[in-house]
Structure 1
C-alpha cells in the first residue's frame, strides 16, 4: 500500500487540491490563505508544495493531502485514499482496493447504462411525464435529480444490457435484474418513475422506483448488495454536503420527493433515509458534515413517532435536533405547492427544540388533569441542563398546576416536583484544567535554541549527516519536546540518515508537530554559505554537550561523599560552563525574525 500512497502523493499537487476550497497567494516557497478550519481573519494558513504539507499557525490544523481530504470531506483514511486515487487516475494495487479495478469498472458501466436507459425512456413515457408535471418536476429538475422511467415491458433493460455485451449476472447482483424459475432474466423495476441514488461521493449505487397508478408497494429500492446498502446511505447527501460543510444545518425528510421539494425551496441541505427508520450509520454520516439537524417529517402520527425516534438517535451522537411539526396529512411537497418556498422555509425556521417537542407531544397525548402528565412534565424539565430555561418552562406551566389556587404556591409546587426528579450533583474538583492552547509556533518556545538549530538542519540535505550524528547522541537532548522529535526521527531512520531530500521522507514521520516544525524551517532560507552553516551546527552541538556536562556536574554535587574542596571545584566549573552558555546565547540570531 505504501507504493500506492507514494504514487498518489507524486500525482496530486497539494496547492491545487487545497486551492479548490481556499484562495491561496504565494509567499516565497509557501502559499498562504485564510484557514478553513476556524474563523480566520488574518491569513494564518500555510501550504508547502515541495513538502506536500499544510499548517494553520493559529488553530493548529495540519497534515498532507490525505488529512486534507479526510477533514474537508469527513472521510476515513481508506475512503480518502480511494478518493485521491480516483482523482489522480491511479488504480490501486491488490490489498488496497476493496474490489478489483475491473469489477468496479464493470459495476459502474452497468449502473451508468441503466441510468441512461431509464432517462431515455422517461422522454417517451407520456404517463410518467404527466405525473412529473403534476409534481412540478420540469425538465431542469428531472435532469438535476436524474429522474427516469422503467417501462412496463418485462425485460426491456435486460435486452439492452445484453445488446451492449455487459454481464446479465452482474446486473442481477446489482439489483437491476431478477431471474425467473426458468432461468430467464427480467427487469426488477417495471412501470415506475425512477430515482438515481448516489452515495456521498456521487457514485451511482442504486435506484428507487415509485409506481405510477394503483399497486403496491408504492416505492421499492434496489435490493441490498455489496454496492447498495440502504442503511448506510442518505438520499441527496452528495448535493447537500457542500452547504452543510459551510455551517448550514441538515434538513432530514422522509422520502426522495421531499428532498426534491426542499431543494426547490432553497433548503439545499435536505436528505432522506431510503425507506427505513434512521440508522446509526446514517446518523454518523450526518455527523461528518453538520452538528445541527432540522427534522421535517410528515405531520401524521407515524411521522411524529419517526421524529421522536430520530431525536433519540441524534442527541447521543452530539447532533442538536430541531423538530418541525407539520399539519396532519402534510409533507414538504404539499407545503411547497400550497404555501410556496417562503412558506416552507418559515416552517423550518420555527422548529422546536428537543425539549419543546417532547413537551408538545406530552400535551397531545396526556391530559393536564392527570397526575401522569405532571410527573412526566417534571421529568422532562429536570433533564434540561439550563436552569434559566427550566425556570421559563416552570413559569409557563405553573398556572395550570392542579390542586393549588395561589399562583406563587403553584410555581413552588411545580418547582419542587422538578427538583425532586433532578439527579444529585456530582462532587466537583476544585482544580480547573487549563484550556489547551493551539500548538502553532509555541512548540518552538519549548525547545532550546541549540536544539532548534540542529533539528532544523534536517531540512538541508548537506547538513543531515551532522544532524543525524547529534540525534543519535542521547545525552545531548534536554527538553521534552526535543526528546519527542528525536524519538520520532529514530523511528523513521533507525539505522542511518536518510539519503533522499526532506520532501521524500517527511510524510513517513509519525509525529505531526515534528512535521510542522520541519515544514516551517524548510521555508526559511539561510543567509550563510554551506561551510558557515556546518560550523553553526558544530557550535550548537558543542553548546548542548556543555549543557549536558553541566547537568552531570550538578547531579554529582548532590552526592554526600564529596569533600568541600571537590565541591568547590565542581561549583566553579559549573559556573564557567553556565557563563559560557549564556554568552553564546546572547549572540544567537533571532530565529523568528
Structure 2
C-alpha cells in the first residue's frame, strides 16, 4: 500500500465495513434505541457504558473515554497501525488497494517470506524436541521445570539440533535462499546455524507471527540465553514475549505483570496467571513500554531481588512514569524467579505474593530505607534526593501531590521544602508558573467555549461556513481544538458532507478521535443555537484580542522604561484594544 491512500478509497473501505458488524466480532452488542451497547472491551466494567452508533459510524465508551471510527477501533483492539487497519478492513471487504512502489513491494514480499521461513523453522524445532535423541533430553529438562506437554505445544517450544541438514534442505526445496536465511537471523554471516544444541522459544508478535527465536543452552556454556539478531521483522526493543497470549487477560484484568525471561511467563501462564509478559532481558526499552501502554493502563514489575534485577526495575519504572502508566512493584526473594517460586511454594503462595505488590513510591521508599539511615538528617536528605527524581517524572499531578505528602510524613520534613527541591530537578519539572495557571477560571471558560463550538459544528455541519467567516483554526488557543477545527474546515472545502468518521480519518490521532466521539455522544442541546454560536465566537475572539492587548501593553511598558520611541502602528492598535475592552 502506498504511503498515501486517497480519501475516496478510505471512504469506500470505511463504508464497506459497518462499525456494528466489525465491533460485533469482538463484543456482544445489544440494541438500545438507535444505538448499540456493550461491556467495554478496553476496560473492566459491570454495567455497559460502551456505545456504538450505526448512524454516525462511531463508538465511544463513557467509562474510559475511548472512542473513534471503525479504523480507530481495530487499531486500538488489535494494537496495529493505521495502514495495517486499512489493509485488514480492505481485505475483509474485498477491496483491492493500490500497488505499492517497487521498492515498497520488495520490502513487503521479503518480510512475508521471512515470516514464512520462521514458521517453518519453528515447526522443525518443535518436531526435533520429540523426534531426536538430543531433543528428548531437552524435553525431559522442560518437564523437570514443571511444563506440561500442552503448554509446550501452545508456546511452540522446540529444540535446535547441532545439524540443520534436514531444515536447510526443506527450505531450499521451497525456494528460500541462503542470503534470506542470513538476513532473517537463522544463519550467521558465515552460513552456519545461529542456534544449535539449544531449547528454542519462538518469539511471536501480537498477530501470532514468528518474528524471532530465543535459545537456552542445555548444560554448561555461554551465553546461557541467545536471542535472534536484529532483522527486518524482529526488533527486540519493540516486542514483548508472550503478549500475543496475554493481551486479552491484560485487558480484562486492567494490568500486566512484567517479568524478565521466557520461563517467567510460561509457567505462570500454565498455572492460570495469564497476564504475564517478558522484556527478554534485564532492561525494558521505550518501544516496549509504548507497546504495553496500548494494552494496559497499569503494570506490576516482578523482578529478581538481586542487584541486576533491582537496577532493571528502576530503569523500567522511569520509562513507565514518562508514559503516564501506573506502576506497582514486587521483589522476589533472593534466589527465586517466578517459575521456581511457583514450583517450590505453590500456586496459592504465588497468588498471595502478587496481591502484596507495593505502589511505586512505597517500594522505592522501602528500598531507600535499606540503604540510608532514616534517623539522621543526612539519611533523610539522601532518601529525598533518591525519590524526588522519580516523583518528578509522575505525570498525574494528583498522584504526585499525594506522593510528596506521603514522603513529607515519612521523613518528617515540611512539604514546602520538598516542593522547592522538586522544582530544582531539571527533568520533568511540572510546576512552572504557566502550569499553575491552567486551572484558573478564564482558562476553564475558554476551554469550555472552544469545546462547545466544536460540538456545535459536529452536530450541525451547516454552521461551518458561518463560523469560518468569523474564525480560523488559529483563533483556537487550545491545540487539540485547533487541530479538530482545522480538520473540519479543511474537509468542508472539498466534501459535500462531514461525517464524524471522515473527520477522524483526517485527524489520524487516537486521543483527538476520542475527543470527537465524546463531544458527539454528549447529550447537550442548544435551543437557541444561533445565539449560542455567536456568544461562543465572541468569547474565543475576545480571548485572542485580550492576549494581543496584554502583549502590546507589555511591549509598550518596556519601551517607556527604556525611554525609547513607541511604534506608531503598535500604539494605535493598543489604543483600539484599550477602547474595546474598557468602553
What's 1:431 paired with?
440
Return the match for 1:14 from 15, 19, 40: 19
Q: Alpha carbons of 1:436 and 1:163: their partners in 2 closer, same or farther (altered >3 Å)?
A: farther
What's 1:68 paired with?
73
Q: Is contact 2:304–2:332 with CA below 8 Å preserved after alignment?
A: yes
What's 1:400 paired with?
none
Q: Is contact 1:378–1:417 with CA below 8 Å preserved after alignment?
A: no
Q: Alpha carbons of 1:330 and 1:57: their partners in 2 closer, same or farther (altered >3 Å)?
A: closer
1:237-292 CA-partner distances (Å, limit 9, x unpaired): 11222222234321111111111122233322211112352111111112112222
What's 1:81 paired with?
86
What's 2:277 paired with?
271
What's 2:126 paired with?
119
Q: Alpha carbons of 1:57 and 1:132: their partners in 2 closer, same or farther (altered >3 Å)?
A: closer
**Structure 1 CA distance for aligned equivalents of residues 229 and 334 of structure 2:** 31
Looking at CA atoms only, which structure, 1 or 2, has the larger radius of gyration? 1
Give the TM-score normalised by structure 2.
Answer: 0.69
More helix per residue: 1 or 2? Answer: 2
1:283-320 CA-partner distances (Å, limit 9, x unpaired): 11121122222111112221112112222222222122
**Structure 2 CA distance for aligned equivalents of residues 311 and 144 of structure 1:** 31
Q: Does 1:310 align with 2:316?
A: yes
**1:199 Cα deviation from its structure 2 partner:** 1.6
Stretch deviating more after TM superposition (70-79 or 187-196): 70-79
**Structure 2 CA distance for aligned equivalents of residues 415 and 46 of structure 1:** 44
Return the match for 2:219 from 209, 213, 223: 213
**Structure 1 CA distance for aligned equivalents of residues 342 and 36 of structure 2:** 46
Return the match for 1:222 from 224, 228, 243: 228
- Relative contact order (C-alpha < 8 Å, sep 6+): which is higher? 2
**1:381 Cα deviation from its structure 2 partner:** 6.8
**Structure 2 CA distance for aligned equivalents of residues 146 and 284 of structure 1:** 26
Q: Is contact 1:51–1:519 with CA below 8 Å preserved after alignment?
A: no
* Structure 2 counterpart SS, 1:289: coil
**Structure 1 CA distance for aligned equivalents of residues 409 and 294 of structure 2:** 34
**Structure 1 CA distance for aligned equivalents of residues 456 and 94 of structure 2:** 43
1:72-129 CA-partner distances (Å, limit 9, x unpaired): 3444423433454565576643449676553333222212111111111111221011
**1:490 Cα deviation from its structure 2 partner:** 7.0
What's 2:369 paired with?
363
**Structure 2 CA distance for aligned equivalents of residues 127 and 486 of structure 1:** 65
Q: Does 1:390 align with 2:407?
A: yes
* Structure 2 counterpart SS, 1:220: strand
1:544-568 CA-partner distances (Å, limit 9, x unpaired): 9xx99xxxxxxxxxxxxxxxxxxxx
Q: Does 1:352 align with 2:362?
A: no
Output aligned runs, 1:123-162, within 5 Å: 123-124=130-131, 125-162=135-172
- After superposition, the CA RMSD in angstroms is 4.7
* Structure 1 counterpart SS, 2:98: coil
What's 1:571 paired with?
none
**Structure 2 CA distance for aligned equivalents of residues 437 and 472 of structure 1:** 22
What's 1:332 paired with?
338
Structure 1 unmatched ranges of 5 or more: 395-410, 457-466, 521-542, 549-593
Q: Does 1:292 align with 2:298?
A: yes
1:306-345 CA-partner distances (Å, limit 9, x unpaired): 1122222222221222221112111111101011112112
What's 1:551 paired with?
none
Q: Alpha carbons of 1:485 and 1:437: their partners in 2 closer, same or farther (altered >3 Å)?
A: closer
**Structure 2 CA distance for aligned equivalents of residues 36 and 54 of structure 1:** 12
Q: Alpha carbons of 1:490 and 1:116: their partners in 2 closer, same or farther (altered >3 Å)?
A: same
Q: State how many pairs are aligned.
A: 485
Q: Alpha carbons of 1:363 and 1:506: their partners in 2 closer, same or farther (altered >3 Å)?
A: closer
Stretch deviating more after TM superposition (419-428 or 304-313): 419-428
What's 1:109 paired with?
116
Return the match for 2:52 from 47, 70, 73: 47
Q: Alpha carbons of 1:121 and 1:418: their partners in 2 closer, same or farther (altered >3 Å)?
A: same
Q: Is contact 2:49–2:63 with CA below 8 Å preserved after alignment?
A: yes
**1:508 Cα deviation from its structure 2 partner:** 7.1
**Structure 2 CA distance for aligned equivalents of residues 38 and 291 of structure 1:** 9
Q: Alpha carbons of 1:265 and 1:100: their partners in 2 closer, same or farther (altered >3 Å)?
A: same
**1:134 Cα deviation from its structure 2 partner:** 0.6
Structure 2 unmatched ranges of 5 or more: 392-399, 425-430, 477-482, 522-528, 535-583
Q: Alpha carbons of 1:320 and 1:338: their partners in 2 closer, same or farther (altered >3 Å)?
A: same
**1:347 Cα deviation from its structure 2 partner:** 1.3
Q: Alpha carbons of 1:367 and 1:505: their partners in 2 closer, same or farther (altered >3 Å)?
A: closer
Q: Alpha carbons of 1:47 and 1:257: their partners in 2 closer, same or farther (altered >3 Å)?
A: same
* Structure 1 counterpart SS, 2:336: coil
1:510-561 CA-partner distances (Å, limit 9, x unpaired): 79799979999xxxxxxxxxxxxxxxxxxxxxx99xx99xxxxxxxxxxxxx
Q: Alpha carbons of 1:158 and 1:25: their partners in 2 closer, same or farther (altered >3 Å)?
A: same
